[in-house]
Amino acid sequence: MSDSTSNSSEGDRNPAHLRVDIDRLIAEHAFDVALNRLTDLWRRDPASGTASFVTAKLGELREQTANSLPLTRFKLAILRSFTVEPIMPLLRAEALSYGIDLEIHVGDFNTYAQDILDEKSSLYRFAPNAVVLAVRTDEAAAELWNGFADLSREAAQQAADRTVRGYEQRVRTFREHSQAALIVHTLEQPAFPSLGLLDDQSDFGQSGLIRQINRGLRRIASDTRGVYVLDYEGLVARHGSRHWHDERKWQMARLPISANHLLDMAREWMRFIVPLSGRIAKVLVVDLDNTLWGGVIGEDGMAGIKVGAEYPGAAYQALQRALLDLSRKGILLAVCSKNNLDDALEAIDKHPGMLLRSKHFTAMRINWTDKAQNLREIAQELNVGIDSLAFVDDNPFEREQVRAAVPEVTVIDLPKNPLEYAATLRNCAVFERLALSAEDQQRTEMYSAEKQRSGAEQNFQSKEDFFRYLEQEAELEPVSELNLARIAQLTQKTNQFNMTTRRYTEAQIAEMAKKPEWHIFAIRVRDRFGDHGLVGVAITRDEGDRCEVDTFLLSCRVIGRTVETALLAHLAESAAQRGRKQLFGWFLPTKKNAPARDFYEQHGFVREESAAAGSRWSVDLKTSTVRCPEWIKLNTSMRSIPIANMPTETSVGGKN
């Protein structure tokens, strides 16, 4: 079904027609549309010929718009020891698909050393944003490559050391002259080392020494700000050395890479250029059916969808693992799916094969609204620009719809075969990061938990459903050395949900704790998204058959999720158990505590008295209807406060 839809939408967009269309649009001065069509064309037909066409038309557009295209400009210099010219159109076209207008300077053959040394060289005059140092082993370590069999072990080692020192010097000099990013290709191993099998029997063979050089390059990169290693060997290995290389072109034209892999070289460079130019995605929005799992949850049900350790579910698990890796890099995950919410959530949270659970998603739009609208909302909810979103969906129709409606969103095309999903996601340049601080990751988690809550809330028809979904657990704990500071801090800092705004020091709290008529309740809350920590405090004082609520406060982090009701219910219950007949408390208004104003009234308290300072409210404990909401699991096992454990008890108690 989806295929026929996609064919009809692509029918008038076959590459030949698109070319004609683009020429017409440029002639009509519809430059922005022409630019979009160019990107379309490249996506549909990413071949060398297309790249030449795209580059030529991009040049025309630049000229006609006096360089005012809505693209990020980026200047890349390539210093090289081999022919890269045929890759340049591919690289420009590929960059265009990320919204980058790439200006490229290619150094002369093997002049990279002079180019870097001479501060007046064309390299520095070009003022690049980034420089690629693409040098092959046969040039960078010529002795090792060509004459290894003639070298003594010492001479071979010296040759390797010299190569690393050469790189070190060049990198240092480069940094003196330029603040541009520097991307250094690692050196490739020979397919057949000069001594055959013997070579691999020690670390000091031809391959071993080249590995040593590469370790040196990685060390230089990690020691120097803005210097990165491109794992050329890894790149070649991913595609297969035999397929990657083309000896004919190497011999004839100094081009070592076969025609079929020139685009892969360009894409590898883009993995650096995209994060360097800031065209990254911060949020990945995923579809569910046939993307995160095989099948349609609404039709196939929990037992029918495919996700798990075995084929075909394994393909989806592999994708989920890739998504988990992205989230560990600080990329937020979100869901946008046309589904019944309950069906989808059940699958996400209950299916045994799922690696991703609700807690991994910072926003969810599971509804029947169109996806473009949902994506806009997700961006808004997460407080990121719409261009920070990437969207992945198996359905070409949905992808096209999103592309058309919100062109700023990076839409990731999934291949037809789910086995290739994971690799597709792992290979997306928009998710590349060149540095990641521990703070980034930490912030992401905090942000993510809170965003998840508010995101989830919008998916529910009623607040109660949302509360049930939250699976809140509250735990009352006694005052102790461990939480005394936090309790005092909450009385001092809490402004909004605070009935009396009485500020207490640690010493005052400790003093209260050892008096039998005073009771101090500290509440800790966690939900499915994470632990909020200790967020609420209530202090009561028994007086005859009445119990006064001296302090009742809750951190704004958890206001409005009925934890306050649970805490109040517990105060009432606890007072009743001690034989009190009435619970009463003051509401003392401040400039900031309006959120607490109606609290007592909403819980069936009656106003006893109004004074200038505020109002006094009470409830008869026999008839009180304040109950802990059924969706909060309240652990009250620690209801008695062991003041005997308080370290201050002995000394202060003596004075009693």
Partner 1 sequence: MTANTFEQVRAVAGDIFGLPPDRITAESSPETIENWDSMQHLNLVLAVEEKFGVQLEPEDIEQMKSIGAVAAIVTKLQSARR
For binding to partner 1 (CB under 8 A), which residues are involved?
A: 16, 47-50, 52-53, 56, 83, 85-86, 89, 246, 248-249, 251-253, 255, 258-260, 262
Rounded CA separation 331/314 (Å): 23
Instruction: Give least dist CB 331 to partner 1, A.
Output: 33
Residue 71 structure tokens: 């693209």
Rounded CA separation 127/2 (Å): 48
**3-state DSSP helix/strand/coil percent for the chain, to nearest 5?**
50, 20, 30
Rounded CA separation 77/81 (Å): 13
Specify the pairing of strand 546-554 against strand 530-543: antiparallel
**Torsions phi, psi of 580, nearest 5?**
-80, 150
Query: Residue 615 forms beta bridges with which residues?
Result: 587, 610
Position 430: which residue type? V
Instruction: Give least dist CB 66 to partner 1, A.
Output: 22
Q: Closer CB to partner 1, residue 262 or residue 333?
A: 262
Residue 40 structure tokens: 């379309």
Instruction: Give least dist CB 73 to partner 1, A.
Output: 23
Q: Closer CB to partner 1, residue 60 or residue 475?
A: 60
Q: Closer CB to partner 1, residue 87 or residue 95?
A: 87
Instruction: Give least dist CB 23 to partner 1, A.
Output: 8
The pairs formed by 438-447 with CB atoms below 8 angstroms and a separation of 24 or more are: 440/330, 441/328, 441/330, 444/327, 444/330, 444/332, 445/530, 447/332, 447/362
Instruction: Give least dist CB 26 to partner 1, A.
Output: 13
- Dihedral sign computed on CA atoms, order 257, 263, 264, 267: positive
Q: Closer CB to partner 1, residue 86 or residue 407?
A: 86
Q: Closer CB to partner 1, residue 26 or residue 305?
A: 26
**Torsions phi, psi of 551, nearest 5?**
-140, 135
Q: Closer CB to partner 1, residue 142 or residue 259?
A: 259
- 413-424 residues labelled b (16+ CB within 10 A) or e (exposed): ebeeebeebbeb
Q: Closer CB to partner 1, residue 263 or residue 334?
A: 263
Q: Closer CB to partner 1, residue 243 or residue 357?
A: 243
Instruction: Give least dist CB 44 to partner 1, A.
Output: 14
Instruction: Give least dist CB 42 to partner 1, A.
Output: 12
Query: E-strand spans in 415-545?
Result: 472-477, 497-498, 518-527, 530-543
CA torsion angle 388 353 632 517 (round to 10): -100
- 236-254 residues labelled b (16+ CB within 10 A) or e (exposed): beebeeeebbbeebbeeee
Is 313:166 a contact under the CB 8 Å cutoff? no
Comparing CA positions, the residue from 386, 434, 432 lying closest to residue 410 is 386
Q: Which residue has the tokens 């009385």?
A: 491
Is 146:136 a contact under the CB 8 Å cutoff? no
Instruction: Give least dist CB 51 to partner 1, A.
Output: 8
Q: Closer CB to partner 1, residue 47 or residue 195?
A: 47
Q: Closer CB to partner 1, residue 55 or residue 362?
A: 55
Q: Closer CB to partner 1, residue 52 or residue 64?
A: 52
Q: Closer CB to partner 1, residue 60 or residue 143?
A: 60
Instruction: Give least dist CB 53 to partner 1, A.
Output: 4
Neighbours of 266 (CB within 10 A): 22
Q: Closer CB to partner 1, residue 53 or residue 469?
A: 53
Q: Closer CB to partner 1, residue 253 or residue 302?
A: 253
Instruction: Give least dist CB 249 to partner 1, A.
Output: 8
Instruction: Give least dist CB 25 to partner 1, A.
Output: 16
* Backbone torsion region of residue 266, taken as left when φ is above 0, otherwise alpha when ψ lies between -120 and 50, otherwise beta: alpha
Instruction: Give least dist CB 261 to partner 1, A.
Output: 9
Q: What angle do CA 297, 299, 302 make, to 5 degrees?
A: 45
**Torsions phi, psi of 227, nearest 5?**
-110, 130
Comparing CA positions, the residue from 277, 264, 234, 275 lying closest to residue 94 is 264
Instruction: Give least dist CB 15 to partner 1, A.
Output: 9
**Torsions phi, psi of 133, nearest 5?**
-105, 95
Instruction: Give least dist CB 58 to partner 1, A.
Output: 12
* DSSP H or E segment with residue 616: strand 615-620
Helical H runs in 45-152? 48-64, 87-96, 112-117, 122-125, 137-140, 142-146
Is 638:478 a contact under the CB 8 Å cutoff? yes
Q: Closer CB to partner 1, residue 241 or residue 251?
A: 251
Instruction: Give least dist CB 267 to partner 1, A.
Output: 15
